[in-house]
Each structure stands twice: as structure tokens, then as C-alpha cells.
Structure 1
Amino acid sequence: MKQLLCFGDSNTWGLIPKTNERYSWGVRWTSILQEKLYDKDVRVLEEGLCGRTTVFDDAYRKNRNGLKSLHEILETSYPIDAAVIMLGTNDCKAYYKSNSYNIAKGLGLCVDELLKYISPEKVLIVSPIFLGDSVWKEEFDPEFDAHSVDIAKGLFNEYKKVAETKGTNIISASDFARPSNVDQEHLTKEGHQLLAHAIYNAVITSNIV
């Protein structure tokens, strides 16, 4: 059986907007993907964590640095045949003082770690969904600011350069799904379904699994 690692943040973990709860199995995009890949003899490894970044350390929550987490995950679940990585939303938070270019550099370092175990043609980069225009307001998530919205919109173009340099595959989640109106940040049930279908099509048509 092949193993497909899905590495990401709260939109991979399956956070229900405006709650601390998790979407159930059958709703999360990772679980829908698993159900669609059963007949391909593929096991999906769900590795989503709320607040996870590419390379930044969260001063308030431990173990959110994606790069620092990857090595242990890759060794724990070895062998891994393919990977989907969707990170960058949390990197857009104001206190990281970053930009699309530097976030892409961080993603590139995560991809480099993946490539120690997985061939580049078996890696799919998923640029995350856009943030809602009001995400930074007090009633939503003031860890972001107005500039965060623009940073998120710029990620795909920078991630595409990473994919071209590393030889990986790439899609943009924002082509298929939008954040919930409830919190301007996380996927709705429908968004999980749409993203699952998009990622499934990508991993099949690109022979990732």
C-alpha cells in the first residue's frame, strides 16, 4: 500500500470555522481524498495542525514550525511515497512581518525536507485559499492585518516558482474554494469537498499516486 502524506495547517486538520471543533471523517478533505483513493491502494496520512507555519516559531503555541516538525513525521511514517503540502496562511499573520516571497522561501525549505524522502514528481504543492477581505477585523482574527489579505493573494505566484525550481506539481486551492464568511479564514464543508476533488484530480492526472 502506498502512503500519501497530507501536511498542512488548520485547513488540513479540518477546523470548523469560528469554533475549536474539527470536521468529522467524511467531511474533511483529507478523509474524502482517502475514500476516493481506496481502490488505488493508497493510505492518506493526515498531518494537519492548527497554527502551523512554514518556518516561523509561534511565540504563544509550541511546535507550530512546519520545517522543524517534518523530519520526525517523515521518519515516523516511513516509507512515504507521495506528499501534498498546503501551508502559508498562518505565515501571513501580522506579527511574523513576512511577505509572499519570504513565505515561499520557507515553503521551499519544507519541500527540500520532503525531497529527502520523496521524488519531486510525487510532491504536490497546494497554495492555500485566500483570506477574506475582513479577516483582520476584531470580530474575526486580529492576528492578521489588512496587508495579510494581499500577502495571501500573492502566494501562488511565488509558490509556482518554487514548484518550477524543485520539479514538483502545484495547484492553487483558491481556484476551487473560498474561506467561510463566518471567520474569513477556514474552509466550509463545501470547500472541503471541492478541494478534495481538486487534489484527487491532481494526484491522479499527474501520477503522484
Structure 2
Amino acid sequence: MKTVLCYGDSLTWGYDAETGGRHALEDRWPSVLQTALGNGVQVIAEGLNGRTTAYDDHLADCDRNGVRILPTILQTHAPVDLVIFLLGANDMKPVVHGTAFGAVKGIERLVRLVWHHSWPGVQAEAPEILIVAPPVISQTANANFAAMFAGGVEQSSMMASLYADLADELGCGFFDAGSVAKTTPLDGVHLDPENTRAIGRGLEPMVRMMLGL
């Protein structure tokens, strides 16, 4: 049995911009990926609304700093064959960091944490890592989200190329979620059911290759 850990934010959790609730389980991209890969693979969805790559969000009522939480998550789910990082959109908030460069440095920190983690005995070596760039933030008439992600449209448009360069430098896999999915104009950040399903479908070939399936 292969294990895939999907470490992400609200795009992985399945936030529904239309209702403010959560997409049906079968519509969330980790579930779609699980169905596509079949019973020989366990896909674990570790999504948290507002999670950043490596930065504190002092307005949150939980710890959204992805770096601080990751070691515990790795220890919880070991052994892991592949870690998928789909993070960075929340780094675009000016109160968090506000730049694509900041998101890339955060992703690099997460990758190195996986490499150097003190894995339990059941994990012989560090897992493969797949870096996924989130879809570009879009313009929205939602005043709250527009203010929360001020400057995010321009900055997020740089993430895919920067993430691709980082993945190449570090020897990680790379996938641009924006190549198959677009954010909804309802809030400019999240995905409707079809677009979150599209990420799961789009990731399948890359995940199969990285797992040797």
C-alpha cells in the first residue's frame, strides 16, 4: 500500500465559496485522486483553511503556520511515499507576507523539513515530494476578499513559474494546478466543485509516475 499525503489549505479542505461551507467529500481533489488511483494507494487529505507555507497568521484561532505543524503531521501518518504541497495562496495576504517570493521560500522550507525530518523506524527514507502551484487569484467583487488579498492577482500569477524553478532546483515533482483549474470570481481565491475535481484528475498521471505505478 502506497501512501500519499496532501498537505494544503482551503483548496485541499474543500471550501465552497458559494455556501461558505465545504464541498461534498467526493468533489474534493484528494478524493478524486484517491478514486483515480484505486485501492492500492491511500490518499490522506490534510487541508486547513488559511494555512500558509511558513508564516504566522495572528488573526487565526488555530495555528496556520505550515512549517510549525508539518513535523507532527509527518510523524502521524508515517510511513509516507509521497508528499504533495498545495500551498501559497494565503501567503498572498499582505498581513501574512504578500509576495510570490515569500511563498516560494516557504515551500522550500517545507521541502527541507521533509528531507531532514526525524522519521520513525517504519520510514526507511524520505518520501518523494510534489510541489503544486495554486491557481492564480482572480478579480472579485467580494469586497472582503479583494481587500484581504490586495495585490494577490499580480503576485499569484508569478507563483507557477517560480515554483517550477524551485522544483527543478530541488529535484521535486511539479504541477501547475492553474493549468487545469481556475478560481471562482465569487471570492477570487477558492474553487467550484468542477475545478477542484479537475485538480485531482490532473494530478493522477504525475502521482502515478512518482509512485512507480
| TM-score (structure 1 length as normaliser) | 0.91
**Do the aligned residues in 1 keep the contact of 2:84 with 2:131 (CA within 8 Å)?**
yes
- Alpha-carbon distance between aligned partners in 1 of 2:41 and 2:53, rounded to the nearest angstrom: 26
- Alpha-carbon distance between aligned partners in 1 of 2:212 and 2:21, rounded to the nearest angstrom: 31
Residue 165 of structure 2 is matched in structure 1 by: 161
What are the residue-to-residue correspondences of 1:22-37 with 2, within 5 Å?
22-37=22-37
- Alpha-carbon distance between aligned partners in 1 of 2:68 and 2:212, rounded to the nearest angstrom: 25
What residue ranges of structure 1 are gaps of 5+ in the alignment? none
Moved more, 97-106 or 162-171: 97-106
Q: Structure 1 residue 208: deviation in Å? A: 5.8
What are the residue-to-residue correspondences of 1:34-53 with 2, within 5 Å?
34-39=34-39, 41-53=40-52
What residue ranges of structure 2 are gaps of 5+ in the alignment? 120-124
- Alpha-carbon distance between aligned partners in 2 of 1:208 and 1:160, rounded to the nearest angstrom: 21
| TM-score (structure 2 length as normaliser) | 0.89
Residue 133 of structure 1 is matched in structure 2 by: 139
Residue 174 of structure 2 is matched in structure 1 by: 170
**Do the aligned residues in 2 keep the contact of 1:8 with 1:48 (CA within 8 Å)?**
yes
Q: In 2 relative to 1, CA 208–163 (structure 1 residues): closer, same or farther, beyond 3 Å?
A: farther
Residue 195 of structure 1 is matched in structure 2 by: 199
- Alpha-carbon distance between aligned partners in 2 of 1:67 and 1:152, rounded to the nearest angstrom: 20
- Alpha-carbon distance between aligned partners in 1 of 2:31 and 2:146, rounded to the nearest angstrom: 27
CA RMSD of aligned residues (A): 1.8
**Letter of the structure 1 residue corresponding to residue 189 of structure 2:** E
- Alpha-carbon distance between aligned partners in 1 of 2:103 and 2:85, rounded to the nearest angstrom: 14
Q: Structure 1 residue 18: deviation in Å? A: 4.0
Q: In 2 relative to 1, CA 23–208 (structure 1 residues): closer, same or farther, beyond 3 Å?
A: farther
Corresponding residue SS for 2:49:
coil
**Letter of the structure 1 residue corresponding to residue 199 of structure 2:** L
**Letter of the structure 2 residue corresponding to residue 48 of structure 1:** G
Residue 64 of structure 2 is matched in structure 1 by: 64
Aligned length in residues = 205
What are the residue-to-residue correspondences of 1:2-151 with 2, within 5 Å?
2-39=2-39, 41-61=40-60, 62-116=62-116, 119=126, 122-134=128-140, 138=143, 140-145=145-150, 147-151=151-155
- Alpha-carbon distance between aligned partners in 1 of 2:208 and 2:71, rounded to the nearest angstrom: 26
